[in-house]
Amino acid sequence: MNFKRISTLYIGVTALLFINFSCKKDPVEEQVAFNKGVMLSDVANNIIVPSFNTFETNINSLESSFLTFQGNPTQGNFDIVKNDWRTAYMQWQTVKIFDFGPMRDLGFKGSAGTYPTDSTQVLLNIANGGYNLGSVDNVDAIGFSALDFLFYRNNALSDFSSNPDYAQYALDLIQKMKSEFATINAQWAGYKSTFIASTGTEATAAFSLLVNEFNRDYELAKNAKLGIPLGKQSLGIQLPEYIEARHSGISLELLKESIIALRLVYLGDDSNTNGQGFHEYLISLERSSLADNINSRFGQIISKIDTFNSSLETEMTTNVAQLDELYNLVQGQVVNIKTDMTSAFGVLITYQDGDGD
């Protein structure tokens, strides 16, 4: 046996294998070109901070207009209050995505955004007084939904004009949101650097929390804003009592604003900035097709919502087939963002949705 030949052959094969393996990029090395810290900085500076500041301004405006209305309860002043409430509620659709850090610590997403409201509890609180709006018993009697009930129920203007307790309860709801969010926004000034630096994929990392809350908020839009009222979880039996903002009839507008906000986070920017988001990260991972499919599906959903001209409750009576098409479009995005995107990012979904997708 020619050991010299075998040795030479072994060395040659080893060298080829070394060259071959050295040419293959480590998945981690492929990601080095994309700086997740820059992406988180763009999300924080282009989206989170501006949206938080705007929301705080919106809530302050709502308090101011309501105090004016309380002192002079005219229809004109009431219309200003309702417009300020709507503006703040629309802005909330962006803010609520970021339910981690200071906002999670104060439980603000639940206290501001829980719906439907328990109208019986609201009226009991007004009648009995002495209520604690921070108690578990009142979790369904506060926030934007409770104001929707108070502002848009029959004879609302008369109730505000004739019953000081009625007006005081609405003011207490507004000031509760104002006080709590002012604390959150102030704390975010210190939390921002922590958020930007936490780029890992472990469950407690800010990047992982952002991916999880992005998906959770999307599924809440799919289920709570649309699927549950349509009867998708009740054997096709519609449940209009679960419609968000049922009294004002702006539920489809809120759904659209929620999808627009999620798309904004996905892209990492708006028309006035050039930030990086999940879209650019997927492209850097050579998942351009998935990146474009997600963005395209967001556009399709928004365009479909624009085809409806009435409230969700009315459309549920007259236009069920088109609402089903909308739901299927929304449902179809779940695999894209919850399965394919999170897998590409190496992030685990840690929340429990109970939906079965």
pLDDT tens-digit series, residues 301-357: 999 999 999 999 999 999 999 999 999 999 999 999 999 999 999 999 999 865 444
Residue 11: pLDDT over 60: no
Residue 118: pLDDT over 80: yes
Residue 26: pLDDT over 60: no
Question: Residue 353: its pLDDT value, please?
Answer: 65
Question: Residue 7: its pLDDT value, please?
Answer: 39
Q: Which domains does the chain have, with CATH numbers?
A: 31-46+199-357 (1.20.1420.20)
Question: Residue 352: its pLDDT value, please?
Answer: 82
SS (HEC) of the chain = CCHHHHHHHHHHHHHHHHHHHHHCCCHHHHHHCCCHHHHHHHHHHHHHHHHHHHHHHHHHHHHHHHHHHHHCCCHHHHHHHHHHHHHHHHHHHHHCCCCCCHHHHHCHHHHHHCCCCCHHHHHHHHHHCCCCCCCHHHCCCCHHHHHHHHHHCCCHHHHHHHCHHHHHHHHHHHHHHHHHHHHHHHHHHHHHHHHHHCCCCCCCCHHHHHHHHHHHHHHHHHHHHHHHHHCCCCCCCCCHHHCCCCCCCCHHHHHHHHHHHHHHHHHCCCCCCCCCCHHHHHHHCCCHHHHHHHHHHHHHHHHHHCCCCCCHHHHHHHCHHHHHHHHHHHHHHHHHHHHHHHHHHCCCCCCCCCCCC
Residue 135: pLDDT over 80: yes
The answer to whether the bond into 102 is cis (omega within 30° of 0) is no
Q: What mean pLDDT is reported for the chain? A: 91
Question: Residue 275: its pLDDT value, please?
Answer: 87
Residue 28: pLDDT over 70: no
Question: Residue 274: its pLDDT value, please?
Answer: 76
Mean pLDDT on 16-34: 46
Question: Residue 33: its pLDDT value, please?
Answer: 76
Mean pLDDT on 100-106: 97
Mean pLDDT on 82-110: 98
Residue 17: pLDDT over 60: no
Mean pLDDT on 91-107: 98
Mean pLDDT on 20-47: 71
Mean pLDDT on 170-199: 98
